[in-house]
Chain A
């Protein structure tokens, strides 16, 4: 492996670039993805390389261009539709939920719908209540969609390349806070990462920290601190919510006996609830303490930094939750 490092945005861009070169059917459409290169720079230079037929500046019509992408997918293309802010998923719910997700099923298997919807998630930028939300649990609630939540540049590239080889609709969530800020090793050689395979980001024996997308980073930082206290935390990254690698999550908790689940989506009926249920069922006899769920506070995301940061799980909250789990064990 080379020691080359890319930002999260560069890794996304490289995955798109390689797949666009590999498969003529792939095209990218979204707002300002073309000439401008995307507001988060994920398509920088691709318009110049692949031209306006394949890197398409769409009108500000999320439902229209995502709907079009669904039809293009059903007729042999492989569109990548970008939602600049994942919050706008509300505007394309019908196209995703009622059209893309169930066309194969409702036709008794007659069609494939290979559409990839790239959407951002994540708060912490004082973007306010309509540009900060993380709606991956909504998507994972829908049968027929694959849902990807990468946490590192390496995973983002490998998983996006897999998405672009999938014959199914994929909703690919990118935490926008990571685009420029998170850098990591990405080999020059080609690779893909299969869906449904969790990654153990750090091995441990005392407690399992299961974290989604960017939350992996405070989880890893917390694990480092815990190590100094003599506590060995395992950090598990599911990487895809659908399909979900239940086995790896369960086996981690079978080993450690305790779980803290960290997510930037809401707790209420959210990803943390689903993962907790999976673990409670699969590792019931091994749990020494109640499962801890750390999701976003169940409120619209506020603007003012002290308020906003209070709604998002962080390292301190993770450490406190780990101590609750360990205290529970001693009881």
Chain B
């Protein structure tokens, strides 16, 4: 299969920022591939929910965010965290239950957070981050400094009540809140169309009086441009918006579930042909932002770093059991 080509006459960002976006997409891809390995080798407890295939959405959105903007994430959250600036070392340590992890081993694979980076946590409850994101938008509006709040969620979360309750509030109170739906076509093992009445989230958002855009979620620049418009408006006090990014997860719902029982070979191949990484690479090559040698070097560098994060985490201690009783109350 050849990668589908995307061409953009003029690039929306300077080369340095585009390279940074590419590096983040690559980091997400490699991080997920290595977590897959870590899981298969029995080096981590619990489950692993990976997002390889979906890299363009978090990176395109987070490229529009400032350090003090906040995000909330989901059970499939590694990509969001890396895109918002999360470091792979404490992420991997958290995945592996070590005390050196972002949450000292108390959160785990589904609950990575770095509040200092505006990452208010990945959430194990589908739709669980939406209320928190609305609250962060409330605070942002109160502060009046143009900060915005982004809620990432999957297609499954659009049928949760919290979406409607906060959307109504956010429109009424003009909160700087961007709802980003990563529609990877499946809610666990069921196609979203079987679970979603009417014309989907865009129509629902418009019914609430909210602007809504829908983009190819595997085209990082398309995601960026749409997010840029919505985030910019929210910063200026225009209120909330919804962005729907259509994408696909390559693996199963979690590692150990191959993702092939309910998705056809053709469907998977069709999406792999739209792989967000080569599509972005082609654009960067075409515009001479990057050379093939640069790509290879960057790949090796990221791979080495993520691999090292596993070794470092393996050598790091598990939390002392006395920590089980800590951090309940401030």
B329 touches A71 (CB 8 A): no
For the complex, is B131 an interface residue (Cβ under 8 Å from A)? yes
For the complex, is A103 an interface residue (Cβ under 8 Å from B)? yes
A75 touches B135 (CB 8 A): yes
For the complex, is A129 an interface residue (Cβ under 8 Å from B)? no
- Given A75-B136, A95-B131: A144 and B328 interface contact (C-beta under 8 Å): yes
For the complex, is B198 an interface residue (Cβ under 8 Å from A)? no
Chain A hits for B202, CB < 8 A: none
Among A108-116, A173-181, A296-304, A310-318, the one that faces the other chain is A108-116
Our pick among B123, B135, B326, B330 for the contact of A68 (Cβ within 8 Å) is B135
- B125-144 vs A, CB cutoff 8 Å, 1 = contact: the mask equals 10010111111111110100
Chain A hits for B138, CB < 8 A: 68, 71-72, 77
Chain B hits for A69, CB < 8 A: 135
List the count of A-B residue pairs having beta carbons below 8 Å apart. Answer: 143
Size of B's binding interface in residues, CB under 8 A: 46
- A104-126 vs B, CB cutoff 8 Å, 1 = contact: the mask equals 11111111100000000000000
Chain B hits for A48, CB < 8 A: none
Among B113-121, B180-188, B255-263, B279-287, the one that faces the other chain is B113-121
- Given A67-B130, A68-B169, A74-B135: A110 and B330 interface contact (C-beta under 8 Å): no
B327 touches A99 (CB 8 A): no
A144 touches B168 (CB 8 A): no
The residue of chain B having its C-beta at the shortest distance from the C-beta of A110 within the complex is: B115
A144 to B106, CA, bound (A): 14
The residue of chain B having its C-beta at the shortest distance from the C-beta of A75 within the complex is: B139
- Given A59-B165, A70-B131, A144-B329: A110 and B139 interface contact (C-beta under 8 Å): no
Chain A hits for B164, CB < 8 A: 64
B169 touches A106 (CB 8 A): no
Chain A hits for B121, CB < 8 A: 103, 106-107
- Given A53-B142, A75-B70, A94-B128: A111 and B115 interface contact (C-beta under 8 Å): yes
A65 to B101, CA, bound (A): 32
For the complex, is B102 an interface residue (Cβ under 8 Å from A)? yes
B104 touches A71 (CB 8 A): no
Our pick among B123, B131, B137 for the contact of A64 (Cβ within 8 Å) is B131
For the complex, is A168 an interface residue (Cβ under 8 Å from B)? yes
Query: How large, as a class, is the contact surface on chain A?
Result: 35 or more
Chain A hits for B135, CB < 8 A: 67-75, 77, 79
A104 touches B327 (CB 8 A): yes
A67 touches B131 (CB 8 A): yes
A65 to B135, CA, bound (A): 8
A223 to B319, CA, bound (A): 51
For the complex, is B162 an interface residue (Cβ under 8 Å from A)? yes
B107 touches A61 (CB 8 A): no
For the complex, is B166 an interface residue (Cβ under 8 Å from A)? yes
For the complex, is B103 an interface residue (Cβ under 8 Å from A)? yes
Chain B hits for A187, CB < 8 A: none
- A131-159 vs B, CB cutoff 8 Å, 1 = contact: the mask equals 00000000000011010000000000000
The residue of chain B having its C-beta at the shortest distance from the C-beta of A146 within the complex is: B329
Chain A hits for B128, CB < 8 A: 94, 98-99
Our pick among A61, A74, A143 for the contact of B132 (Cβ within 8 Å) is A74
Chain A hits for B166, CB < 8 A: 61, 64, 67-68
Chain B hits for A111, CB < 8 A: 113, 115, 120
What are 13 contact pairs spanning A and B, CB under 8 A?
A64-B164, A68-B131, A68-B134, A68-B138, A71-B132, A73-B135, A75-B139, A98-B125, A98-B128, A107-B106, A107-B111, A108-B106, A109-B330
| Complex A-B, nearest 7 residue pairs according to Cβ-Cβ distance, in ascending order | A67-B131, A71-B135, A64-B165, A108-B104, A71-B132, A61-B165, A108-B103
> Contact residues of A with B, CB < 8 Å?
53, 58-59, 61, 63-77, 79, 94-95, 98-99, 103-112, 143-144, 146, 167-168
Given contacts A53-B142, A99-B132, 12 further A-B contacts (CB under 8 A): A59-B172, A67-B165, A68-B134, A74-B136, A76-B139, A107-B106, A108-B103, A109-B327, A110-B114, A110-B115, A111-B115, A144-B328
> Contact residues of B with A, CB < 8 Å?
70, 72, 101-107, 111, 113-116, 120-121, 123-125, 128, 130-140, 142, 149, 161-162, 164-166, 168-169, 172, 326-330
